[in-house]
């Protein structure tokens, strides 16, 4: 039982030291947590046998303009739909 507790404590300690090693050696805590601004979250992807036909269907039935990658949607403000966010 004591051996299991010691192993768990050693694993936790090594995880903490590994996580904070950059902070410890650089002397700055702000460098570790700097992140860029998120500008997108991916998309929705459908697997199909003939992407060309699917793009044509999107254009004919949904009125979406497509390119070789698919289509994009515009973000608009809820209070003023005429105002594009991006």
Q: What is the pTM of this model?
A: 0.38
Same domain, 48 and 30: no
Same domain, 31 and 43: no
Q: At 55, is the pLDDT very low, low, confident or very high (cuts 50, 70, 90)?
A: confident
Average pLDDT of the segment spanning 12-31:
64
Same domain, 23 and 58: no
Return the C-alpha torsion angle 9, 11, 15, 21, nearest 10: 80
Q: At 60, is the pLDDT very low, low, confident or very high (cuts 50, 70, 90)?
A: very high
Residue reference for tokens 């300690």: 13
Same domain, 31 and 49: no
Half-sphere exposure of 43 (CA within 13 A, CB side): 8
Same domain, 43 and 62: yes
Same domain, 44 and 7: no
* Tally of domains in the chain: 2
Range of the domain at 1: 1-35
């Amino acid at each position: 039982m004591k051996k299991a507790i010691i192993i768990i404590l050693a694993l936790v300690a090594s995880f903490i030291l590994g996580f904070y090693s950059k902070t410890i050696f650089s002397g700055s805590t702000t460098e570790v947590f700097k992140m860029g601004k998120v500008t997108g979250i991916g998309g929705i992807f459908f697997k199909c046998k003939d992407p060309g036909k699917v793009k044509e269907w999107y254009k004919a039935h949904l009125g979406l303009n497509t390119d070789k990658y698919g289509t994009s949607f515009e973000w608009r403000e809820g209070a003023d739909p005429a105002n594009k966010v991006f």
